[in-house]
Amino acid sequence: MTGGMGALLESPLGMRWTTLATAAAMLGLIGVVRRRPDLAVVSVVAWMGGFEIAFRFFEILRWQQWSGLPHLAWVAAALTAWPLLALALGIRPSPAWMAVTAVAFAVWITTGYDYNLPQTAGGRLRPVRLGPEVENVVAKTAWAMCYLVGAWRLPSSGWPRAGGASPARISPPPADPADVR
């Protein structure tokens, strides 16, 4: 998609620029700063997957697009494993950010659950509406924070930093030489 709202809201990867920026921030903070690329990837996909399931569910309810239920079931079946994997790895979404997410979704739903679509069915570009976009971004970012904070709370890995020794490679000497086996 070129020009207009499509270029303003959506990246060439087919997702919103705000989603891409949030994912990059999560990957950087958890993967690089905390040195946990495993948790970074799982956190990002769990966030995106969970958000997509909730978004589609409320979209079907709001617009009464009951024909979308089979697609929602397929998406939910395909994506539910990621939040479950996050839990299995010890990522516990932040309760405070879960509350913010619930409030953000409640506001968005009560104001009509409107969102920006790049084009009409005929291919014409639509104008950007600030209110719906802010509601979308706030709900999506609050959901991301649930996973970011949850993953951040887990210990860093023992991977070495540039120019330094890994904490996992440094062992304290035995307290008593007789304990050495």
CA-to-CA distance for 85 and 79, rounded, in angstroms?
A: 10
CA-to-CA distance for 53 and 18, rounded, in angstroms?
A: 18
User: Per-residue pLDDT tens for 78-125?
Assistant: 999 999 999 999 999 999 999 999 999 999 999 999 988 776 777 777
Break the chain into its structural domains and give their ranges: 13-49+83-152
CA-to-CA distance for 151 and 97, rounded, in angstroms?
A: 13
pTM for this predicted structure:
0.81
